[in-house]
Amino acid sequence: MSVQDTAEPSRRDFLYIATGAVGAVGAVTLAWPFIDQMNPDAATLALAAIDVDVSQIAVGQSIVAKWRGKPVEIRQRTEAEVLAAKDASLDELKDPIARNANLPGDAPAIDANRAAPDREQWLVMVQVCTHLGCIPLGQSGAYDGWFCPCHGSVYDTAGRIRSGPAPENMAIPPFEFTSDTTVRIG
């Protein structure tokens, strides 16, 4: 057995360990801002869910709320709009899938799967054209729903694509009515 194996740690050994520890702490301190910036922005977290008062929306009118940076249209449809949406058969639709985040992914695009449950006059929908992300104009087009003037996509009164280059129906975000006058989106 040599003398070095049983010797006490030297000052040099202490300096190596201390330098390594300071270097490790410095590396973590330097890396933390880069790691932390990958977390969601506070504004994003704040908009994870929003409550919207719908008491002032008259029949045939709509409002647009901003949720996660997207326009969400909340519309109280007229009886004629509801009937027109119900009368459309799945064979007439370009996209037969409901695209409703509240339902299974393969739910058919019938009006009941696009409107609010037990409140068929209410439509809560992300108002973004599924072709190139434009904002369609409401209550226009051949079906009196939405029309995207950029490329000519036409949506019906349930936000389902009927003609034009858009491949899918406009999305229904996760939402629920928390009272008769308040809808929570997100």
Tens of pLDDT, residues 34-73: 888 888 776 666 558 899 999 999 999 999 999 888 999 9
End-to-end CA distance of the chain: 71
Q: What is the CATH number of the domain that holds 129?
A: 2.102.10.10
Instruction: Give the residue carrying structure tokens 């694509």.
Output: 161
Same domain flag for 85 and 105:
yes
**182 in Cβ contact with 52 (< 8 Å):** yes
Same domain flag for 87 and 177:
yes
Same domain flag for 62 and 27:
no
This prediction has a pTM of 0.71
Domain region containing 103: 45-185
Q: Give pLDDT tens digits along the chain (186 positions).
A: 555 566 777 888 888 888 999 999 999 898 888 888 888 776 666 558 899 999 999 999 999 999 888 999 999 999 999 999 999 889 889 999 999 999 998 999 999 999 988 899 999 999 998 888 889 988 888 888 999 988 899 999 999 999 999 999 999 999 999 999 999 998
Which of these is catalytic: 22, 151, 174, 179?
151
Assess whether 151 carries a catalytic annotation: yes
| Burial zone of 54 (CB within 10 Å; 0-12 exposed, 13-18 middle, 19+ buried) | buried
Same domain flag for 32 and 50:
no
- Residue 182 has phi, psi (to 5 degrees) of -130, 130
**54 in Cβ contact with 76 (< 8 Å):** yes
Same domain flag for 122 and 104:
yes
Report the number of distinct structural domains present in the chain: 2
**92 in Cβ contact with 162 (< 8 Å):** yes
